[in-house]
Amino acid sequence: MQRLQELRGRAEALPGARLALEALTSERALGGGLLAGGVAFRVFLWLVPFGLVLALVFSGWSEYDPEGLESAARELGVGAAAAQAAAEALQGGGQSLVVVGLVGLVALSWFTLGALRAFVLAYALAWHLDLPRIRRPLHAIVVFNGLFLLAMLTSVAEAWLREQIGVAALLGIILTFASTTAIALCAMWLLPHRATHPRELLPGAVLFAGGNQVVQVAVLFYFAPELGERQETYGAFGAAAVMLIWLYVLSRLATGAAFLNATLWQHHHPDTQSS
């Protein structure tokens, strides 16, 4: 125990370590793991109709990415993997595309609101705010899906640059980091917070973007191969389990970013009382 306390004391002596530990403590006290799990599950429910609608809009998805779920996940992320899975399911059935499209749009709207409520709850708890209502649901649905599509299009553009002009690996990492930071910062500004300027939310956006870079490495060496292997072995249930783990890691980064920003903000505004 004494040795552990000594190590903690040395860690707290590092620049910014005390604030990081304070953010972790606050997250643990409010059940950060459970919050991230709830967010991940709601996002997973949203991802199913999102992939379905995306597969219907881009009906040639399987021709674009013929190598299947593993390749889609590796190149373009979890949204592309969901679209690939939906495209394969549509090819295997005789459903009317019009009916499937209408059901997909209704389900997408419903589960988008569910995912949004999960994010709003997590961020309101992190910032010690009363839980706000989503007053413009249609606008919120469009913005939520638009930001996710923007992230996917950014991945497409970066993949195109690598193929067409041979972008160096370092430049590709920088572009990915910068675009992810910008999108995360925009999303965090729209979620509950006490900040008065976007730069006060930048540390959390940087944390998410940096963590996302690590997750991308994990996608290449673990998640994408596992998606392909589990789908062949266990079918849809195996792929769903891998996607849930993937989403939980991303959700933990997103909620952790909120607690980090809230802790830093409180440090710079010590006289402000939490509600």
Distance CA 73, CA 243 (A): 10
The answer to whether position 10 is within a domain reads no
Instruction: Say if 18 falls within a structural domain.
Output: no
pLDDT, greater one: 102 or 64: 102
User: What percentage of the chain reaches a pLDDT higher than 70?
Assistant: 66
Give dist(CA 47, CA 78) in Å, integer: 9
Structural domain includes residue 12: no
Q: Is residue 7 part of a domain?
A: no
Domain count, the chain: 1
pTM: 0.80
Residue 249 in any domain: the answer is yes
Note whether residue 16 is domain-resident: no
Dihedral in degrees, nearest 10, Cα atoms 21, 25, 26, 32: 110
Q: Is residue 245 part of a domain?
A: yes
For 206-232, write each residue's pLDDT tens digit: 999 999 888 877 877 776 676 666 666
- The domain containing residue 82 runs over which residues? 23-268
Tell me the per-residue pLDDT of 241-261, one tens digit each, with 9 for 90 and over.
Answer: 777 888 899 999 999 999 999
Predicted local confidence at residue 66, as pLDDT: 45
Q: What does the alpha-carbon distance between residue 162 and residue 4 come to, in Å, rounded to a whole number?
A: 46
Is residue 5 a part of any domain in this protein? Answer: no
Residue-wise pLDDT tens digits, 5-59:
554 555 455 555 677 777 888 888 888 889 999 999 999 888 888 877 777 776 6
Question: What's the pLDDT at 75?
Answer: 54
